[in-house]
Amino acid sequence: DAGVTQSPTHLIKTRGQQVTLRCSPKSGHDTVSWYQQALGQGPQFIFQYYEEEERQRGNFPDRFSGHQFPNYSSELNVNALLLGDSALYLCASSLYGSGGPDYGYTFGSGTRLTVV
């Protein structure tokens, strides 16, 4: 049973460029959330997608956008990259409205983005 898969694992971009990160959720999950984790800090919520719509959004600028596909996979796009966007980007999948035993979120291994 595959867990959450993220690609690429590492990425180096130049300021001002655009980047796309990808996430495939755990089998059976239908909701994808994206988090940004700066070095030495806790993750910060970016947004959540369910039924191909953005359901919740954290305190991130419009430069951060996303998409969810019919197969539940998701993309995170960041435009006009800044040095401060350097971080580990984590994708978490879950089952929307789960009242069963699977209460938790499953995280992928993350994409380490470095902006130079």
CB of 83 to other proteins, least distance (A): 20
Q: CA end-to-end span of the chain, whole Å?
A: 37
Residue written as token pair 């590492």: 10
Is 70 exposed, middle or buried (CB count within 10 Å of its CB: 0-12, 13-18, 19+)? exposed
| Amino acid in position 85 | D
Is residue 69 at the binding interface for other proteins, with CB under 8 A as the rule? no
Q: Which of 15, 55, 63, 116 lies at the binding interface for other proteins (CB under 8 A)?
A: 55
Q: For residue 98, state whether it binds other proteins (rule: CB under 8 A).
A: yes
Binding status of residue 84 toward other proteins by CB under 8 A: no
Which of 22, 58, 60, 67: binder of other proteins (CB under 8 A)? 58
C-beta of residue 108 within 8 angstroms of C-beta of residue 89: no
Q: Which of 72, 110, 113, 115 binds other proteins (CB under 8 A)?
A: 110
Nearest residue (CB) to other proteins, 70 versus 103: 103
Question: Do residues 83 and 15 touch, judged by C-beta distance below 8 A?
Answer: yes
Of residues 9 and 17, the one with the C-beta less far from other proteins: 9
User: What is the distance between the alpha carbons of residues 38 and 48, in angstroms, rounded to a whole number?
Assistant: 19
Contacting other proteins within 13-42 (CB under 8 A): 31, 33, 35, 40-42
Residue 94 tokens read as 């879950």
